[in-house]
Amino acid sequence: MNKFFRIGMITAICSGWLLYYPYIIFNKTFDAALHLPFHLCSLMEIAVLYACLKNNTKVLEIIAYPLVIGPALALSFPTGTFDLGGWHTAYFIYYHALLITSGVYIILKKRFSFSRSAIWKAALFIFAGDCVAVWVNMLTGGNYMFIGDPVVYPAIVYYPLLFVLVWVFLAGFHFLVAGADAVVRLRQKQNLAQ
């Protein structure tokens, strides 16, 4: 990984945490059902920090697709801490932008070269987060990973729909990346032919 990217991301993530969490604790707005790091994006933020600290691109490669898809959806349909306004909203936008930056960085670093196994690895990361979130939701009454309280009722429709959408988004994004990879390879061949 590029040293500038690593140090920048470590600094940006830690700075965000050091500004946001003391703010919500001192202002007595901290709520365990809302502010613990068990949403997909929070888990990915921890994974990005770990990857940058350890200079481990494999971790970023595993979560590359969710790093772009998850925050893009969160910014497109903001909820949770975003709705609290002020610093909550600013931090929400800030850390989701960091995640998208990380995802785009690793996709560009690999020059769009991902195999279909990227879909499975990303899905396993998401479903592992779901397994943790189930327990955290039971303990806190939260809605981490949006599995504690179905957004669309009835639950018999919501959970299978959520499962299918994870696969559809990951597969769709993979085909988008594969298409970009094909364009890059075609341009390289054209440049070599000249």
- Region 154-180: mean pLDDT is 90
Range of the domain at 111: 3-193
Q: Which tens digit of pLDDT belongs to each residue from 106-132?
A: 999 988 888 889 999 999 999 999 999
Q: CA-to-CA distance for 6 and 24, rounded, in angstroms? A: 27
At residue 38, does pLDDT exceed 80?
Answer: yes
Residue 193 is predicted with a pLDDT of 80
Q: Which tens digit of pLDDT belongs to each residue from 10-27?
A: 999 999 999 999 999 999
Residue 24 is predicted with a pLDDT of 92
Residue 192 is predicted with a pLDDT of 84
Residues 6+ apart with CB under 8 A from 39: 80, 133, 144, 145
Q: CA-to-CA distance for 67 and 110, rounded, in angstroms? A: 15
Q: CA-to-CA distance for 137 and 50, rounded, in angstroms? A: 24
- Domain total for the chain? 1
Higher per-residue confidence, 157 vs 49? 49
